[in-house]
Amino acid sequence: MKLLNDFFHIVEDTQKEDVYVCRIRLNADHFIYKVHFQGNPVTPGICLVQIATECLERKLNRRLYLKEMQNIKFLSVLSPVEGALIDFVFPKIEETGTGCKIKAAILSGENQYAKISMIYVYEPF
């Protein structure tokens, strides 16, 4: 399920030296937040993984499939109400012949919400 332009919107994406940053805005009115959790919305961890994937697909201009979740640490709760703009920061995108390995941090200002390391494979032709 694609979340882009429904659950979240990309505000801007930039490449500075080796670091790719995708700044997003969450849609606090999305139906996911009505069930997770009504009155106190929390962004599900799997949605953060999907957003990271969609940001990478945009940057690499390739369809990606998650092969392996090497590490994920949720450091604080991400509310769509409190975190207006969220940065998905990719300091490491290592492309292999068949996919890529990434490390990323999910931040808003001084708040860090998660750190992730994942391996993707490219969609076969």
Mean pLDDT by 10 residues, the chain (125 residues): 93 96 96 91 96 97 96 96 90 95 96 97 83
**pLDDT confidence of residue 20:** 98
Cis peptide bond prior to 88, omega within 30° of 0: no
Q: How far apart, in whole angstroms, are the C-alpha atoms of residue 3 and residue 110?
A: 25
Q: What domains are there in the chain, each with its CATH number?
A: 8-122 (3.10.129.10)
**pLDDT confidence of residue 42:** 95
**pLDDT confidence of residue 82:** 80
CB 44 within 8 A of CB 108: no
CA angle 34, 46, 57 (to 5 degrees): 115
**pLDDT confidence of residue 125:** 59
**pLDDT confidence of residue 124:** 75
**pLDDT confidence of residue 103:** 98
**pLDDT confidence of residue 25:** 97
